[in-house]
Amino acid sequence: MNKLKLLLLAIGAFFMTEANAQELLIINSPENLKCNDSVWVFTPQSQKPHATLIFLHGWSGSYRNLGDKFDVQAICDRTGFRIITPDGFYNGWYVNNTDPEKMQLRDFFNEELIPQLYEKYDLNPETTFIDGLSMGGHGAINIFIDNHDKFRAAGSMSGVLNLNTGRLQDELRKVFGDKMEERLTSESAVTNAKKIAGSDKIILISCAYRDFYFKCSEEFAKVCNELKIPYIRTDSPGTHSWKFWEFALDQHLWYFQRILDGAEMGY
């Protein structure tokens, strides 16, 4: 066992800030990841969280992205949501690498991360949500589909909901290898949506209409409509940017709170 692993084990797999509101979990995953996953957990101060949002970052990002860009602690304190930001790695795409000797990220989320979060934080599927931006929007919808019984609703912001978009194909090839053409389709949220046809759980789809992934949101909404999956789609001015995602995060948390409150959702 190397010194780094000993250190991670010695600190008990988490670090608490002095305010006891932020926690860094280190999850060791020798089988699925062949490494550790870092997970940043933000908990509301001075109140018990009444809901939990698992938020997935975009391509080239890390578990630190959301906390580095926004005052996530203030968002938690204002909304009462616990916000959890796992690492999907620079080019992970929240899928299993075609090479079994490399990262099996989707299996890690389904078999390790979500069950461990459920156990540690005593999560409730009635008050647990998943969301993400760009690559993370793709991941959030697929993980939601895989774990439909563990989430109340899901969201996608500027999500790459159809991997056949012509962007970042060289990066995707590093994950899909010689199965590239087949897996671009089989791993896309627009393909996997059929697994939850007729669902009563809502999906939020937000994208700026000057975003190069805007077509993905249009396609996914069309599929949801055909499959009778309830969704709310919001198109706004803007681009594929943190400015838009700040707006979208606030919007999605507002919708998630209305779902929790049983408030009117327009249908």
> For the segment 39-74, what is each residue's pLDDT rounded down to a tens digit?
999 999 989 999 999 999 999 999 999 999 999 999
Q: How far is CA 154 from the centre of its chain?
A: 9
Give residue-wise pLDDT tens across range 157-216.
999 999 999 889 999 999 999 999 999 999 999 999 999 999 999 999 999 999 999 999
End-to-end CA distance of the chain: 56
Whole-angstrom Cα distance, residue 267 to residue 265? 6
What are the structural domain ranges in the chain?
Answer: 3-261
> Domain 3-261 is classified in which CATH homologous superfamily?
Alpha/Beta hydrolase fold, catalytic domain (3.40.50.1820)
Return d(Cα 161, Cα 215) in angstroms, integer.
9
Query: pLDDT, tens digit, for every residue of 99-135?
Result: 999 999 999 999 999 999 999 999 999 999 999 999 9
Report pTM. 0.93
Average pLDDT, the chain: 93
Cβ–Cβ < 8 Å for 243, 193: no
| Residue 20's pLDDT band (cuts 50, 70, 90) | low
